[in-house]
């Protein structure tokens, strides 16, 4: 298993921010279908202190990569919220990975499987400069299908994925293992 959760063992401030964010996540049973326990991050976003703590934890996770970064790629739609915030905090550009029909220019496109069906992601074909070092950000790592598609879009753009960062990881679904050797950081584990 490459990468790790954000390390809070030796930093009480990060540990308290992690606890604050985790307390704000709401669990909703049987959504979007029976048998699923949905982890709802909207209370994190609605609470200015929890949202700021989540942003601080994203910055710490990006710094822990120890790699230079050129751009943050955020996956639609909640990855936009955390990715754009992180890009602003790090002084980097932000590139959105979107669902089909949302980007006006020419695009690179990847189809992939989800736990509930199939989907497609797109980026502008000139959105990532060749050779750029990209951090992929999304709210949730489940099976790894969406993040894997984003990584293929980065590769197709002749850029390099230096890491993937998620607010939440559903450990039992094994998404981390499907992302290969790319460092994966997550803030909360369920």
78, 98, 133, 176: the catalytic one is: 78
CATH number at residue 164: 3.40.50.2020
Mean pLDDT value across residues 92-104: 97
Mean pLDDT value across residues 162-180: 96
Mean pLDDT value across residues 160-169: 98
**pLDDT, averaged across the chain:** 94
Rounded percentage of the chain residues whose pLDDT exceeds 90: 89
Instruction: Tell me the Cα Rg of the chain.
Output: 16
- DSSP per residue over the chain, as a string? --SEEPP-TT-HHHHHHHHHHHHH-EEEET-SSTT-EEEE-HHHHHSHHHHHHHHHHHHHHHHHT-S--SEEEEETTHHHHHHHHHHHHHT-EEEEEB-TT--SS-EEEEEEEETTEEEEEEEETTSS-TT-EEEEEEEEESSSHHHHHHHHHHHHTT-EEEEEEEEEE-GGG-TGGGGTTS-EEEEEE-
Mean pLDDT value across residues 157-161: 98
> What pLDDT is attached to residue 45?
98
> What pLDDT is attached to residue 116?
67
List the domain range (segments joined by +) for residue 65. 4-189
Count of structural domains, the chain: 1
Judge whether 155 counts as a catalytic residue: no
Judge whether 78 counts as a catalytic residue: yes
Mean pLDDT value across residues 175-181: 96
> What pLDDT is attached to residue 117?
77
Mean pLDDT value across residues 148-153: 98
């Amino acid at each position: 298993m490459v990468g790790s959760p954000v390390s809070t063992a030796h930093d009480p401030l990060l540990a308290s921010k992690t606890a604050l964010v985790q307390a704000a996540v709401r669990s909703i049973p049987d959504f979007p279908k029976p048998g699923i326990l949905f982890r709802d991050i909207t209370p994190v976003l609605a609470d200015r202190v929890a949202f700021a703590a989540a942003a601080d934890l994203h910055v710490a996770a990006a710094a822990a990569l120890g790699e230079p970064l050129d751009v943050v790629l955020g996956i639609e739609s909640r990855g936009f919220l955390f990715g754009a915030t992180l890009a602003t905090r790090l002084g980097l550009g932000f590139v959105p990975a979107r669902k089909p029909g949302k980007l006006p220019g020419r695009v690179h496109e990847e189809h992939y499987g989800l736990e509930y069906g199939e989907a497609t992601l797109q980026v502008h074909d000139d959105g990532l400069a060749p050779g750029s070092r990209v951090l992929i950000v999304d709210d949730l790592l489940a099976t790894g299908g969406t993040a894997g598609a984003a990584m293929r879009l980065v590769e197709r753009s002749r850029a390099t994925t230096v890491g993937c960062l998620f607010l939440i990881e559903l450990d039992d679904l094994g998404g981390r293992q499907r992302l290969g050797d790319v460092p994966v950081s997550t803030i909360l584990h369920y």
